[in-house]
């Protein structure tokens, strides 16, 4: 090791010792700052509103497409070919959060009613989050709103000057009012859907101010999500089934009409053996045979379409059902207090180390008065 390196190492050790001495000399000031922040942490922990989280765990499964012993085997016995029915159109759970965040889903969820213990009537979700009569006063929320969140308040006041609703002639275009947009932003943080990419397990969580309300919201979202996914998955198969049903009903009417015409003709011409009668009977018989063939084929296609819908319908296994939480999930008072204590300690140390340099550079000697002299 060279002499310069030894000298540099000695200077670093001297600097660290000097910093330690300075911190020890101002330990009372650091302790005061830490105590002030500890008191702030206690206030934040005590005055923060309680929140309850209800959750459920879902394992989505597709229909048994490749099971010849199931519906496919029964269809084969009936003479129905299901060879083209495979599981290529499996809907990945990764798309579930997109469905949850979609505008139609959110707008329907906003109109759901939830029962609260403090109200004697059900309350719509959008009214609860945007209505003035349901807004609760929060001391810490008010402080944070007009300090850290002041820029957001100013921007919100500017946005409020814009027109609230936009009228669109095209019914296929979704529109949102200002209240609906606000409710969507709140629900984004209140309803959370996590998907395990490895196992495909879906965890749904809902946060509300009351335990029963949180369980209701989680249950509503679970039912809606299953319905939306099911409708999305079987939409194509249902459209085919509807078309086949219509064709089947028409073919059935034609078959019954031809069957009745042939029977009536045979009853009316039972004792006649003329060529015209035989020709007419042959024509009616051919029409009956064609109608029977079409009717039978559409009956098979109809049954195949019904099986397709069953096969495409996803199955949701509820591993952990929604339960009413017994304890609040927020605020975590211990963590809040520890975080404020650490913040106060780091701030006190930072003031001790930084303020003398600022005073020296700026010439503002009054900054030194922030650091009380140690009498020891």
Q: Is residue 83 within 8 Å of residue 199, measured between CB atoms?
A: no
| pLDDT tens profile 159-203 | 555 455 555 555 667 788 888 898 999 999 999 999 988 888 899
| pLDDT tens profile 327-337 | 887 777 788 78
CA 211 to chain CA centroid, nearest Å: 19
Q: Is residue 205 within 8 Å of residue 218, measured between CB atoms?
A: yes
Q: Tell me the pTM.
A: 0.64
Show me where the domains of the chain are located: 1-48+331-376, 50-234+315-328
- Region 267-295: mean pLDDT is 84
CB atoms < 10 A from the CB of 9, how many?
Answer: 11
More confident residue, 244 or 132: 244
Q: What is the pLDDT of residue 62?
A: 57
Q: What is the pLDDT of residue 372?
A: 44
- Region 53-81: mean pLDDT is 59
The DSSP output letter for 78 is T
- Written as one string, the DSSP assignment of 223-245 is HHHHHHHHHHHHHHHHHHHHHHH
């Amino acid at each position: 090791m060279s002499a310069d390196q030894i000298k540099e190492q000695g200077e670093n050790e001297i600097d660290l010792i000097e910093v330690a001495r300075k911190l020890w000399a101002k330990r009372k000031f650091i302790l005061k700052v830490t105590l002030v922040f500890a008191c702030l942490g206690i206030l934040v922990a005590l005055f923060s509103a309680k929140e309850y989280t209800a959750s459920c765990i879902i394992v989505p499964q597709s229909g048994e497409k490749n099971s010849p012993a199931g519906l496919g085997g029964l269809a084969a016995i009936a003479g129905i070919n299901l060879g083209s029915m495979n599981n290529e159109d499996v809907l990945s759970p990764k798309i579930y959060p997109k469905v949850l965040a979609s505008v139609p889903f959110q707008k329907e969820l906003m109109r759901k009613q939830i029962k609260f213990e403090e109200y004697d009537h059900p309350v719509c979700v959008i009214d609860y989050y945007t209505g003035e009569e349901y807004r609760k006063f929060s001391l810490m929320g008010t402080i944070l709103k007009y300090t850290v969140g002041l820029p957001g308040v100013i921007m919100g006041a500017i946005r409020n000057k814009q027109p609230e609703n936009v009228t669109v002639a095209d019914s296929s275009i979704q529109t949102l009012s200002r209240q609906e947009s606000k409710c969507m932003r709140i629900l984004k943080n209140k309803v959370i859907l996590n998907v395990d990419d490895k196992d495909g397990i879906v965890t749904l969580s809902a946060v509300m101010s009351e335990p029963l309300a949180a369980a209701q919201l989680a249950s509503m979202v679970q039912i809606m999500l299953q319905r939306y996914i099911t409708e999305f998955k079987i939409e194509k198969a249902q459209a085919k089934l509807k078309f086949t049903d219509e064709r089947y009903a028409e073919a059935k009417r034609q078959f019954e009409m031809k069957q009745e015409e042939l029977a009536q003709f045979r009853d009316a011409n039972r004792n006649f053996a003329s060529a015209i009668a035989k020709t007419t009977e042959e024509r009616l018989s051919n029409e009956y045979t064609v109608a029977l063939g079409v009717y039978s084929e559409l009956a098979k296609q109809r049954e195949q379409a019904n099986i397709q819908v069953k096969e495409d319908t996803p199955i949701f296994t509820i591993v952990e059902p929604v339960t009413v939480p017994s304890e609040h999930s927020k605020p975590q008072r211990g963590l809040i207090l520890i975080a404020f204590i650490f913040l106060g300690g780091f701030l006190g140390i930072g003031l001790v180390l930084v303020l003398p340099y600022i005073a020296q550079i700026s010439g503002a000697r009054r900054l030194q008065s922030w650091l009380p002299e140690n009498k020891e």
